[in-house]
Chains A and B, each alone.
Chain A
Amino acid sequence: MDLSVRIGSLVLKNPLIAASGCFGYGVEYADVVDLSSLGALVTKGLFLQAREGHPSPRIVETPAGMLNAIGLQGIGARRFVEDKLPELRARRATVIVNVCGTTLDEYAEVSRILSDAEGVAAIELNISCPNIKEGGIQFGCSLNGTDDVVRAVRKVTRLPIIPKLTPNVADVASFARAAEEAGADAVSLVNTFLAMVIDIETRRPKISNGLGGLSGPAIRPIAVRMVHECRQTVKIPILGMGGIADARDALEFIIAGANAVQVGTASFVDPFIWSKLLDGIGDYMQRHHVARVADLVGTVVRGLKAEG
């Protein structure tokens, strides 16, 4: 059974990826998960400098989901390379670094620092965080901005570039196309949906930032639709995500058009989810006589089932 996934020059051993912002820097999970068993892990978003993020409370639960506004707390690119990357290398993790910036220069500079470091497999460009004013989203909500960021980073790295797209736009597929035309090797989608929860007793938002990003099973059908639309629009690999909680959900994304899937919120609930997902995908492939997971990508069947 071939579970491998190709993203530009990078080959993942399986399609399961820990999503950015949901897995710390990976090292936090080293006692719980064999990091080398994952297709890849995506780090928390990194700017050039350290950031403290928003005050508590930073999350609130909603039916089948959660809102977060962490505010991209992070240690900065250089400290990541010094403090976290050596352990990730030692544990043979495939590391995709989520790169943030407030300017094109910052995206390029962070990407250059990470490209020079040993042990970074790819760069995911955070152009879609809904929770901070000055970082990323202004690029990710404009086709020109998306084009600019990808081209700026393309100039400084040979690593695969994977812009992470926001669902908070009218037509996600047009952003996937802009990324592809600018030279991206793949796209990740979707980031969280901008949302709000209010405490009716105090009439205050339940998280400190006011607004936050909705994730979890509540968003899954919308995310599947967006992956499907992007699959019909671009040829580059898609890293699909949005509320995946079991192997069936992962397969749904793959069939919709994702080459690999990212899992975030569900690994909060079950940090041991990874082997269960892998087993479930394997069982499905056996049951359906699918030899390569790549053969499942974008195989939605149209129309009603024929009789007989």
Chain B
Amino acid sequence: MKKLTCLLFAATMLTGMVSAQVLINGAGATFPYPVYSKWFNQYHQKFANVQINYQSQGSGAGIRQVTEGTVDFGATDGPMNAEQLKQFQDKRGSAILHFPTVMGADVIAYNLPGISQELNFTPEAIAGIFLGKITKWNDPELSKANPGAKLPGSDIIVVHRSDGSGTTYVFVDYLSKVSKEWETKVGRGTSVNWPVGLGGKGNEGVAGQIKQTPNSIGYIELIYAIQNKMAHGNVRNAAGKFVQPNTASVTAAAAGALKDMPEDFRVSITNAAGKDSYPISSFTWLLIPAKIQDQSKKKALIDFLHWMLDNDAQAMAEALDYARLPKAVVAREIKAISKIQ
């Protein structure tokens, strides 16, 4: 009898605990997946009743799924466009909010045998190479920016991503800003109609292709380049200074773009102002519906956003080579959290 009571008591305790559990599902961008999984894991350890699942299926899938309502939040490397916002409004009956979480950047990686120093790239050189107009490594546009380097006269072999990706979006968004010709001929998108080059699948595909092919050049994610020790160059920013890509210069880009930042944070920070800004930088965002019916989920998400913007969580991201948000952006996001109803 005593045993039975004990069991019964345990069972009620257990069901009580289960009912207090808040399970939140999210899906989206692959680029921030390492830091998100770390955050969600740490958050669960701290607040055992909140479990956040995240599936890294790509930004496009994240936007689609949150619009369909199959997940509680989405995540994307490129902000939703006006058409997608309207679609969300029509289907879910409320607005969707963008919250920048961390930042990343694309680097210009290359394989040039015999060149040991970091090369400098002007925006004109990058656009020219990817448009197929600059075809030799000793082109004046390149040698002018690299007075010390003995650039060979060999053909440039261009490598780009073959899969749709936020990394591509950031890169072509930058090219569209610095080159009118690129904007009209190619444009912006997660996949574009490349004028030249070979396609590699994923950062690893592009990096592998570059490593195997002498005289090749391509763009890869900053973190991937750092962790795999790929040679990469400095890029001249809007202020006219050649800047090395690293977490500090990426954070500087977000700070530089602050005065043009709209209320909803849907902003591209490529080619940002400021003398220390690395120009091919980008936010990555969480997509959270402005109206959440389930009160416990709403509270959990709001708590998580506050926690994520806090110094400790941002430091955790920096340890994984992500660039942290500037303080001014954090302050504005904390204000924006109150829009969740």
A, B in one complex: no
A interface residue numbers (CB < 8 A to B): none
B interface residue numbers (CB < 8 A to A): none
